[in-house]
């Protein structure tokens, strides 16, 4: 893939937020191959907690404006995986996913960072039915506070592109695990290798503006149409289909009156915030 000088294939310093989370841990090991230094951040200790070769660790709560400003200084691009990643009461989502994403983009603006990869979520679209196919132009239908916060994050990304020229690829991540856990995930599954391919495509595509792409592998069953994101150059190479027989054996019967079966968001459409 060709890139302009503003979108190199190798970076001097990348920032990965949410580095202690499940996907953050995966990307920590993978992104170091693409940069001279990988800056890692979270609110909790990483595993291992010590910085390895080519790493810089800075623990930082996203709601702390000054700390985020310091965190972003000197980075070439940001892979933003940080924040609350499940349905929770409004207060922690407000702090990390609403105030936090604004703090991150303000820091990017002030430090002239021009590319962000934003971990959005399939839960932005969770109240669409499983017999519908959505694309990047379909209106959001969040399935809870978490999905709502990710829709807000996408709007922030659009604002900072329109007004200040900061490019973002918003990845509506499906279900990224070693293998799909249930029949819903046969449609939403994203392998770790395809996650790496997608993040790097998002970082290195020459021009993205603000682009939305659904983060799934090449699954036979899918509710997501990525035809509007071909310019990103993501070509998934894995598929949930190799797990289909085992998943269907574990879950042979579905309750078709269950909202979690009807809607794309699965259990999130009926999850009550805890607290």
- The C-alpha atoms of residue 51 and residue 73 are separated, in whole angstroms, by 18
Q: Is 224 a catalytic residue?
A: no
**Residues near 98 by beta carbon (within 8 Å), at least 6 away in sequence:** 149, 152
Q: Which long-range contacts (CB under 8 A, 24 or more apart) does 147-152 make?
A: 147/121, 147/123, 147/265, 147/268, 149/83, 149/84, 149/93, 149/94, 149/97, 149/98, 150/97, 150/120, 150/121, 150/123, 150/124, 151/120, 151/124, 152/97, 152/98, 152/101
Strand partners, 215: 173
For 66, other C-beta atoms within 10 Å of its C-beta total 10
Q: At what angle do helices 100-110 and 145-164 cross, to 10 degrees?
A: 20
User: Does a cis peptide bond (omega within 30 degrees of 0) precede residue 244?
Assistant: no
Catalytic residue among 34, 105, 146, 192: 146
Any idea which residues carry the catalytic annotation? 146
């Amino acid at each position: 893939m060709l890139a302009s000088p503003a979108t190199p294939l190798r970076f001097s310093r990348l920032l990965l937020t949410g580095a202690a989370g499940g996907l953050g841990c995966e990307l920590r090991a993978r992104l170091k191959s693409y940069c001279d230094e990988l800056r890692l951040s979270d609110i909790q200790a990483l595993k291992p907690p010590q910085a390895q070769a080519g790493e810089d660790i800075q623990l930082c709560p996203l709601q702390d404006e000054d700390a985020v400003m310091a965190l972003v200084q000197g980075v070439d691009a940001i892979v933003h995986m940080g924040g609350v990643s499940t349905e929770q009461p409004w207060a922690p989502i407000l702090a990390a996913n609403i105030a936090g994403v604004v703090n991150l983009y303000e820091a990017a603006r002030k430090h002239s960072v021009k590319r962000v990869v934003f971990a959005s979520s399939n839960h932005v679209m969770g109240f669409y039915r499983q017999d519908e196919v959505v694309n990047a132009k379909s209106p959001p239908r969040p399935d809870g506070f978490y999905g709502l916060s990710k829709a807000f994050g996408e709007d922030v990304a659009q604002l900072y592109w329109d007004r200040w020229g900061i490019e973002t690829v918003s990845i509506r991540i499906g279900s990224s695990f070693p293998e799909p856990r249930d029949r819903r995930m046969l449609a939403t599954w994203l392998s770790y290798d395809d996650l790496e391919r997608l993040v790097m495509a998002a970082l290195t595509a020459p021009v993205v503006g603000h682009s939305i792409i659904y983060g799934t592998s090449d699954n036979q069953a899918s509710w997501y149409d990525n035809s509007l994101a071909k310019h990103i150059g993501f070509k998934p190479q894995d598929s949930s289909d190799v797990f289909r027989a085992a998943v269907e054996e574990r879950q042979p019967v579905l309750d078709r009156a269950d909202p979690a079966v009807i809607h794309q968001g699965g259990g999130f459409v009926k999850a009550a915030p805890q607290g």
